[in-house]
Amino acid sequence: MNKTALHWLVLVLSLPTQSATARMRIWRALKALGCAALRDGVYLLPAAPPHQAALKGLSDECAREGGHAWILSAVATDPEDAQVYQALFDRSGDYAALIKSWKESAASLSRLGPVELVRLLKKYRREYDALRAIDFFPGDAGIEAEASWRDFNHQIDQFLSPDEPQETANQIPRLKIDDYQGRLWATRKRLWVDRVASAWLIRRFIDPAARFQWLTKPADCPREALGFDFDGAAFTHVGDRVTFETLLVSFGLEADAALLRLGAMVHFLDVGGASVPEASGFEAILTGARERLADDDGLLAEISTVLDSFYVHYQRDEQRTKKPGDT
């Protein structure tokens, strides 16, 4: 919805005065949908099938509470009127408030432990995703917020993973899988998203006989080991690619659409970017597994089954969406 909208949905509702709880519940739902209030009981949204369905649900709920509701279609008479309506959905103030809260929190990050940092990041991510979902007419404020969000994520990452690799501008050479069999691979211990996914990728698609060593610090990496996901490692972040994506390109695996989709999920959870629907579920599973399992070998074994399932899901999803004649 980044163009000027000419078509709108109007919800007109009334509830019995004694239905204070229902009134508050419906008001919160209207706010979550991003509705603009034209006056008490009259709300506006850009016309779109999901909005139509959501308003229908609220209309039905209003009727169940003994009230009345009508959904009307409205058309702006000219582009100037449409711009007036569109201005009702300006989210710049909301973005500014979020950016301010991120900056205020950044000043106290050093006093928080890992669990508190993860909890704080999840809270702000929910708020940020909710705001982006109702930013129907994105502008400069959204672009500024995206840059601030990346900076805030990076600051938290520095506390959660002080040895996290930095981007390099190197070219990614093509390598032969046959030359990388039965090798020792090494990365930082207490596996997180990119490291556990990369280890899974190595054992599943590159080196089935791979042995792994989990390092307390990168300097402990044995000379004969193939390091991954730390600065100076054989395989790490290159350009805007995370380690998982670097491995895909290095070994010619990027033609596998299911692996690319897994890579997108890893990328989002590791450095941000375009959101992936399954990401929050995978993050929750990995967080719980890390709480339960102190051993990285056990953690890799458990999360490998999860990644196997994601891979099969993405494979089947790609097959369902493939058009006739596609290769």
Kindly state the average pLDDT of the residues 116-143.
90
Q: Is 16 helix (H, G, I), strand (E, B) or coil?
A: coil
**By CB neighbour count within 10 A (0-12 exposed, 13-18 middle, 19+ buried), where does 267 fall?**
buried
Question: Residues 96-116: pLDDT tens digits?
Answer: 999 999 999 988 888 888 778
10 Cβ contact partners less than 8 Å away, ≥ 6 residues apart: 38, 42, 43, 44, 71, 72, 73, 74
Q: Name the residue with higher pLDDT: 157 or 230.
A: 230
Q: Is 107 helix (H, G, I), strand (E, B) or coil?
A: coil
- Report pLDDT for 80: 81
For the ranges 107-116, 228-237, 271-280, the maximum mean pLDDT occurs at 228-237
> Any idea which residue has 């809260």 for tokens?
101
Q: Name 275's bridge partners.
A: none
Q: Name the residue with higher pLDDT: 327 or 63.
A: 63
CA of 26: how far to CAs of 54, 64, 89, 220, in Å? 11, 12, 19, 57
Q: Among 36-50, 108-122, 181-195, which is the least confidently predicted range?
A: 108-122
Kindly state the average pLDDT of the residues 179-193.
95
- Report pLDDT for 325: 56
Alpha helices (H) along 88-223: 92-106, 114-133, 140-160, 193-201
pTM for this predicted structure: 0.54
Q: Where are the domains of the chain?
A: 7-87, 92-160, 177-321
Residue 220 is which amino acid? D
Question: Residues 189-231: pLDDT tens digits?
Answer: 999 999 999 999 999 999 999 999 999 999 999 999 999 999 8
Kindly state the average pLDDT of the residues 29-55.
92
- Angle at Cα 38 formed by Cα 50 and Cα 23, nearest 5°? 70
Residue 253 is which amino acid? L
User: Percentage of the chain surpassing pLDDT 90?
Assistant: 60
- CA 151 – CA 250 distance, rounded (Å): 28
Report, in angstroms and rounded to the nearest whole number, the Rg of the chain calculated over CA atoms: 24
Domain 7-87, classified CATH 3.40.50.1000, yes or no: no
- Report pLDDT for 116: 85
User: At residue 168, does pLDDT exceed 70?
Assistant: no
User: At residue 275, does pLDDT exceed 80?
Assistant: yes
